[in-house]
Structure 1
Amino acid sequence: MKKLRILVTNDDGVSVGLQALADAVSNQGHEVFIATTANHSSGSSKSISFRTKYKLVELFGRYSAVIVDSTPATAVGVVLDSFDKSFDFILSGVNSGPNLGLWDVLSSGTVGAVLEAAIRGFKGIAVSLVARAWSDYKNFDYDVYYRAARVAVGILEKLSEAKWEAPLLNVNVPAWTLRGVAVAILEQGMHTEVYTCHQDECDMSRWTLEQAYSCVTPGSDVCLVKEGYATVTPLSFISTVKTEWLTKILIG
């Protein structure tokens, strides 16, 4: 296959997951440019800054990069608008955490970074590493992230010359096993719990996969990841639904 030029991004800042994804792309002979953030930006979705500072740097001793003092979507927008548009695809990740189901996808900075590119006409993949509990991530080394990155790069290479029916693919790779790759629908069921509050503070970090993610719909990303599959879910833009019912009520 032809050599690709990939914009690699993420929402965890300069991290092991970012390095693993950039390396997985580069080790396949493709060209890498990185757009990332100065700080951790999970949950930022596609939020953007009207003004941001940036730095042109070299990351991991080998990759040209732009680092912004803002969000992942801002980082991608800055690169595509002001520095370089000559990318074939966007890859975002490898995220330290799941992006499973509707709630995660709408909140995710990892997904939001690719969505910012998709609005500009690019196609891309957001890839996340799924653990059985948040506490597991502190024990994961580079190799675990690299395996997830290789799954995403392999998917991209298979699709690089195909016509995409959706501009954004959301990939979740289980950390504990890998039975294969499965195409999945987006789970619509809500998390059973999100925030845990005590005294004057609330957080959502003490989750387990079993407790926080409900398998409601057979064939969903949540269900298939729990079965040990890396899931690929095509996502399209948010669009309006049929308007006739509202016109009838409001206008007559």
Structure 2
Amino acid sequence: MKLSLLIANDDGISTGLRALADAAAERGHDVFIATTSNHSSGASKSISFKARYRLTRLFDKYDALVADSTPATAVGIALDSLGRKFDFVVSGVNSGPNIGLWDVLSSGTVGAVLEGVTRGYKGIAVSLVARDWSEYQSLGCEAYYTAARLAINLLELLADEPWEASLLNLNVPTWTLRGVKVATLETAPQSEVYSCREGLCDMSRWTLESAYRCATPNSDVCLIKQGFATLTPLTFAATGPMDWLVKKLGKTGSCF
């Protein structure tokens, strides 16, 4: 089964991006890359109303589109300007966790797939989880390729299934891999995101133990800390309960 894949990420032209493209190509899939010219972590699904892009070749073998904008913009431009269809959007491999509600809502890696989802596509976001921020500086390529190959294997396994959630969020630990678990999204409130001093705030120096709270059994955070890769089905378009709001507005009327 040969798939046509739009490969994206939020780290720009990076080791993780190449690992994901190579893992897909190794399995005989057709690859087109849509990425950003700069590192865009935390961009979520933000878009630009105007953006410059260029068509090029990346890593000497993949046709690509590089946008001077956000990951979601790069995906949107690729879907609108190329005149071609893809089977899936796959984003990563991200140099950092995307576990728990705060990460997922902020993630440019997830946002790239979400742009495709809003246009009728399905896809997987894949991220590499280290135990602290400094570990990424010394990680070899193989860690990214392990995560990338796992993502492609899962995509092939699920490609013909009727997906009940259009976006799957995969996180892979760097220090061990005990298997893959389907996980819920950890929704425990985030605290102490920023470290601030003398007018400057920074959130880049974190540890997995201190920054991510395991509060819900079988959540992505809990299972990652146990050494499992986690696969979480995500939906973003659900409408919340309405009755309480209808009752309140019904009493006050439509004009205030």
Q: TM-score, normalised by structure 2?
A: 0.97
Alpha-carbon distance between aligned partners in 1 of 2:235 and 2:57, rounded to the nearest angstrom: 33
- Specify the SS of the correspondent of 1:251: helix
Alpha-carbon distance between aligned partners in 1 of 2:84 and 2:123, rounded to the nearest angstrom: 14
Alpha-carbon distance between aligned partners in 2 of 1:48 and 1:249, rounded to the nearest angstrom: 35
- Specify the SS of the correspondent of 1:164: coil
- Asked whether 1:113 is paired with 2:106, we answer no
Alpha-carbon distance between aligned partners in 1 of 2:121 and 2:246, rounded to the nearest angstrom: 34
Superposition RMSD in Å: 0.8
Name the structure 2 match of 1:22: 21
Asked if 2 retains the 8 angstrom alpha-carbon contact of 1:102 and 1:187, the reply is yes
Name the structure 1 match of 2:180: 181
Structure 2 gap segments, 5+ residues each = 252-256
Structure 1 gap segments, 5+ residues each = none
Alpha-carbon distance between aligned partners in 2 of 1:188 and 1:146, rounded to the nearest angstrom: 29
1:129-152 deviation line (CA, Å, top 9, x unaligned) = 000000000001211100010111
Displacement after TM superposition at 1:201 (Å)? 0.9
Asked if 2 retains the 8 angstrom alpha-carbon contact of 1:45 and 1:108, the reply is yes
Alpha-carbon distance between aligned partners in 2 of 1:32 and 1:241, rounded to the nearest angstrom: 38
Name the structure 1 match of 2:76: 77
Asked if 2 retains the 8 angstrom alpha-carbon contact of 1:192 and 1:214, the reply is no
1:140-166 deviation line (CA, Å, top 9, x unaligned) = 121110001011111101001110000
- Asked whether 1:96 is paired with 2:98, we answer no
Alpha-carbon distance between aligned partners in 1 of 2:203 and 2:237, rounded to the nearest angstrom: 26
Alpha-carbon distance between aligned partners in 1 of 2:191 and 2:19, rounded to the nearest angstrom: 32
Displacement after TM superposition at 1:112 (Å)? 0.4
- Specify the SS of the correspondent of 2:224: helix
Alpha-carbon distance between aligned partners in 2 of 1:115 and 1:6, rounded to the nearest angstrom: 15
- Specify the SS of the correspondent of 2:163: coil
Displacement after TM superposition at 1:45 (Å)? 0.2
- Specify the SS of the correspondent of 2:247: helix
Map 1:216-227 to 2 at 5 A: 216-227=215-226
Deviates more, 1:187-196 or 1:87-96: 187-196
Map 1:164-203 to 2 at 5 A: 164-203=163-202
Alpha-carbon distance between aligned partners in 1 of 2:34 and 2:84, rounded to the nearest angstrom: 13
Displacement after TM superposition at 1:25 (Å)? 0.4
Displacement after TM superposition at 1:111 (Å)? 0.3
Name the structure 2 match of 1:233: 232
Name the structure 2 match of 1:60: 59
1:182-217 deviation line (CA, Å, top 9, x unaligned) = 000000012342100121211101100000000000
The number of residue pairs the alignment matches comes to: 251
| Structure 1 segments of 4+ aligned residues over 6 angstroms from their partners | none
- Asked whether 1:4 is paired with 2:9, we answer no
Asked if 2 retains the 8 angstrom alpha-carbon contact of 1:38 and 1:69, the reply is yes
Q: TM-score, normalised by structure 1?
A: 0.98
Displacement after TM superposition at 1:251 (Å)? 1.5
Question: What is the identity, as a one-letter code, of the residue corresponding to 1:149?
Answer: A
